[in-house]
Structure 1
Amino acid sequence: MQTRQKRKSWLKPLIVPAITLPCLVYFTQQSQSGRYGVEAGAQMAAELTRKTQMYNRLVANRKGLEQRVRLLSDGTLERDMIDERARRALNMSNDDEITILMPKGYAAE
């Protein structure tokens, strides 16, 4: 009876590293500059800072507007004062009224 012996190939140990190396290169590159990589994370952090500042400005503006609305409620001002302020804010007047335009720096006494 005769046995056959195979010679060991020098390529066989290189198969796993040949497949693994391109995968490692791909994932390394994606972790640096991919959609969710380090560079994108820095851009997202900068955008988050801008959006947070915008949000804080809007919240402060809203609080100011809410305060002005509270001051204009029925209990603190008379109806004609509310009407006058609304007309001034909307830049409107009735047909039978005379409108006198004042310069911006003019302070009515």
Structure 2
Amino acid sequence: MLRIRNLLTPVAFAVVFAYFGYHLMNGDRGVLALLQLRQEVARAEATLAETKATRDIWDRRVTVLRNQSLDPDMIDERARALLHVAWPDDIIVFTPTR
């Protein structure tokens, strides 16, 4: 009986430590969840950087079309491209699309 009592305490502590150790690694707020969350944050930051770059490109294009900085050549170019119109004496050079 004394031997069982002497073994019971270390075994109980081992079970408790194993339980908490398992949840430390695999729990909702464990180490593996932290690593996965960091990967998601890195992907989100990459998406944000790409979106900001795209927005900057569009901001520059829109700025050119505003009244304060209206470029007649840009308007003419965009109108011809959108309407598929050319003057009879225009030379049209076709480029391959990407």
TM-score relative to the length of structure 2: 0.62
2:83 is the alignment partner of 1:93: yes
Structure 1 residues 53 and 78: alpha-carbon distance in aligned structure 2, compared to 1, 3 A threshold: closer
Measured in 2, the distance between the counterparts of 1:42 and 1:81 equals 49
Matched length: 92
Aligned with residue 104 of structure 1, among 82, 86, 95: 95
2:16 is the alignment partner of 1:26: no
Q: Secondary structure at the match of 2:69?
A: coil
Q: What is residue 31 of structure 2 aligned with on the other side?
A: 38
Structure 1 residues 31 and 45: alpha-carbon distance in aligned structure 2, compared to 1, 3 A threshold: same
Maintained 8 Å contact 2:64/2:71: no
After superposition, give the CA deviation of every residue in 1:23-50 in whole Å (9 maximum; x if it has no partner): 2211100111222221222222222112
Q: What is residue 4 of structure 1 aligned with on the other side?
A: none
Query: In angstroms, what is the RMSD of aligned CA positions?
Result: 3.4
Where structure 1 has 5 or more consecutive residues not aligned to the other structure, the ranges are 1-8
Instruction: Using the aligned pairs only, state the percent identity.
Output: 28
Higher RCO (C-alpha 8 Å, min separation 6): 2
* Structure 1 residue runs of 4 or more that deviate by more than 6 Å after TM superposition: none
Where structure 2 has 5 or more consecutive residues not aligned to the other structure, the ranges are 87-91
Measured in 2, the distance between the counterparts of 1:12 and 1:18 equals 10
Larger Rg: 1
